[in-house]
Amino acid sequence: MTQTPLQHSADSAAASPAPPVAKKVPTERTHHGDTFVDNYEWLREKESDEVVAHLKAENAYQEAVTAHQEPLRDAIFQEIKGRTQETDLSVPNRKDAWWYFSRSVEGKEYGIQCRVRAQDTGNRVADWTPPAVEAGVEIPGEEVLLDCNVEAEGKPFFSVGGSAVTVDGHLYAYAVDNSGDERFTLRIKDLRTGELLPDVIENVFYGVSFSPDGTRIFYTVVDDSWRPYQVKAHVLGTPVTDDEVVYQEDDVAMWLGFELSSDRRHLVLGIGCSEYSETRLLRFDDPEAALTTVISRDERVLYEAEPFLLDGGERVVITHNRNAVNSMVSLVDPAEFAKPLAEQRWTTVVEHSDEVRVNGAGVTSTHLVVSIRKDTIERVQVIPLAGLGTPGQEAPVEPAFDEELYTAGVGGSDYEAPVIRLGYTSYFTPSRVYDFVLPTPERPAGELLLRKESPVLGGYDGSDYVATREWAEAADGTRIPLSVLRHTSVARDSTAAGLVYGYGSYELSMDPGFAIARLSLLDRGVVFVIAHIRGGGELGRHWYENGKKLTKKNTFTDFIAATDWLATSGWAAPDRIAALGGSAGGLLMGAVANLAPEKYAAVVAEVPFVDALNTILDPELPLSALEWEEWGNPITDPEVYQYMKSYTPYENVRAAAYPKIAAVTSFNDTRVLYVEPAKWVQELRSKTTGTEPIVMKIEMDGGHGGASGRYVQWRERAWDYAFIADSLGAKELLPGAGLK
């Protein structure tokens, strides 16, 4: 059919839609003699109809610009779905007299929480061997605790923020969020009758625990800036208004949390920031007991404490950085804490090492369990409690795995169990669940028992892919570890597409892990590089400290060094490289886009912290004061202010040819407010000298992790990856790759 001029004009307009342009309302911000004019601060008015209309217009623009990617998005979604065993279940985990597990069912968005009664035959290892539970097959005596699909019905969002069961197994508590703002409603079910108790507690934060006697439930409350600041205790059957404040933390720069000690004899309160902490303990066996402090925050020690009984006597195991930058583990008699710190006697259990980062230590009834990081890899070690802290202390035993790049971590275990549950994964080994039988004199090396490897459908073969450890070099000579993932058929001829992913904040490590969705990029020939940049925790505490506060720019330049390595490695064409990061990694994306826009064909920034200075300057905004230990306090320190101002993405957008950029966010995110990317994309569009589209995708019903529901989340990941693959010209599957 011949096109008329009118049809042709309409088609051209549809192909090149105009982006929404927000009005400019200059707002001045003055600190330390510096005035910044912000034209888009008005977009913070979340309740404004004009703001909501603007955000919807951004979505409409994004949908128009990326409409041609819909077939690719659908293909990637179908690949994720086709590789996922939709009707599946977790490995049962024993707690007290029950095995707890979750089922997923094909076509259902959410899991179903179940349990079945355990047996005690006297054979300890057999009694702690999970029952054989089959996908889609109910077993005799199976009880449904919570069908999350029923709970989520008719709700725009659904997330469980914590659950707990009483020791006797009679009561089940669970906390639900239906908006994505991470404020949960706590309800309690009597599992004997299936009825809900009248006790309903609104606006609780993550984590709930029953007291050992089941008469009280503990929970956390956030303040107006979304900082957890109170731990409360609710006595079942009493008005919520009578709930006791167990502890309130008034320092706006300190985070508060709690857990029960492993032996459930104490409530353990953790108070801290990234640089120092304080632990307070409450005994359950003494109704008159008050909270006791282990080490005061005034000592500026960063530590965690676990009280337990050793040979019938009270002891506390402490993981701490006292004269140990990478932390160490000590054993202390509680009576020592009454003395000045310098006079206390601590016994070393795990020595400090410049090569090994000690992440934490816990106990079972027979062993100390230590989490360490060595050569970037997270590992688990166990030491018998018998002889702990004496010259006869036994050497640690570490479960052995046969891959170079992997992650192994404790996945929870009961205090009395003869085994600990381990989670294991690598880049191309699907998640495995092991039980590690704790060492005994008869079995000194322990024993690894594989309980499950998550199935991957669609003909997945891990030998089709390869992961290698490579090193980039920063301008200051620092070697930056990289994990380079690719399909084996990709040729090293400088023609492939490449993607660099990074985070680099809060001492969080980007550990090896299997991801079904990532296979869709690798199958299209994209070389996926994970940059383990400074600010993360991969190479110990110094690695973190050299990428925070007044050394934060190392995070950004390390990422660019990783990009340069990829561009010159032969694995990718220099003009076919994209960048991906989220949250603080979204700040990273904004920073590298400003520093080196010419190095990237596309940038995807998920829930990006791109207006960091403005946010941290306002302690009333969610979680701002908690950020001072990470970035510095620009309110009181002019040097910090100037340093942050020199890199914060929104304030450093410049006249440059920016690449394709997608900012992905959620309207109800309480950690990185939607207004940050909303302002950023406006500034980018007003300054760019290039012609590439800059879009914002906003989930109007989601939180910091995006929308809820696994199918919705798969579609969100498919959107991100389709944007990247399309931008890199990597839309077609490699010969022989893809679902089989």
Catalytic residue annotation: 583, 669, 704
- What are the residues facing 499 on neighbouring strands? 528, 578
Q: How many helices (H) and strands (E) does the chain have?
A: 14, 38
Query: What does the chain come to in residues?
Result: 740
Environment class of 192 (CB within 10 Å of its CB; exposed 0-12, middle 13-18, buried 19+): exposed
Is residue 682 within 8 Å of 674, Cβ to Cβ?
A: no
- List, as one string, the DSSP characters of 28-47: EEEETTEEEEESSGGGG-TT
- Amino acid letter at 287? P
- Alpha carbon separation from 28 to 4, 41, 495, 608 (Å, rounded): 51, 10, 48, 23
Helix (H) or strand (E) holding 612: helix 612-616
Query: Strand, helix or coil at 443?
Result: strand
Q: How far apart are CA 567 and CA 576, in angstroms?
A: 9
- Residue environment code for 501-533, b if the CB has 16+ CB neighbours within 10 A, otherwise e: bbbbbbbbbbbbbbbbbbbbbbbbbbbbbbbbb
| φ, ψ dihedrals at 516, nearest 5° | -60, -45
Tokens standing for residue 493: 């001829």
Q: What angle do CA 506, 510, 513 make, to 5 degrees?
A: 145
Place of tokens 């919570």: 146
Long-range contact list for 176-179, CB < 8 A, 24+ apart?
176/151, 177/703, 179/668, 179/701, 179/703
Q: How far apart are CA 205 and CA 643, in angstroms?
A: 34
